Amino acid sequence: MKIKLLKSHIINDTLFESETIIGDGGVSIPVNYVFTPFMEGLDEEGRKAVYEACVRVYGRYPRYGPHVLIDDPPIPRPEGEEQPVPHVPQKGPGR
């Protein structure tokens, strides 16, 4: 797998500037490394990893205006984060 960084990244506590190429004999890619949309795949495996990162972050389809397709994967939220609860009016007497 060969990836070119489009922005600066920190990998294994080392800062790598944009335009750095990682993988395939250069800087090694750590096991279970989470790829970002700010990378460019230079081979088939690299393009697939970057595409999957873009889907994870932005969803499968481009957003045109406020409309989002229902089958777009939701953006994951960190565990323990307060989740909004929609207000549901309660039915009272005479309603």
What are the pLDDT digits (tens) for 50-92?
A: 888 888 877 766 555 555 555 556 556 666 656 666 666 777 6
**Position 34 pLDDT exceeds 60:** yes
* Cα–Cα distance, 61 to 37 (Å, whole number): 14
What total number of domains does the chain contain?
1
Burial of 38 (0-12, 13-18, 19+ CB in 10 A): middle
Look up residue 64 and give its amino acid: Y
Note whether residue 93 is domain-resident. no
Note whether residue 72 is domain-resident. no
Q: What pLDDT sits at residue 13?
A: 86
Note whether residue 83 is domain-resident. no
Give pTM, 2 decimals. Answer: 0.60
More confident: 55 or 2:
2
Residue 16 belongs to domain spanning: 3-58
Q: What angle do CA 55, 75, 44 make, to 5 degrees?
A: 15
Note whether residue 70 is domain-resident. no
**Tens-digit pLDDT profile for residues 5-31:** 999 998 888 899 999 999 887 778 888
Note whether residue 37 is domain-resident. yes
* Cα–Cα distance, 30 to 14 (Å, whole number): 12
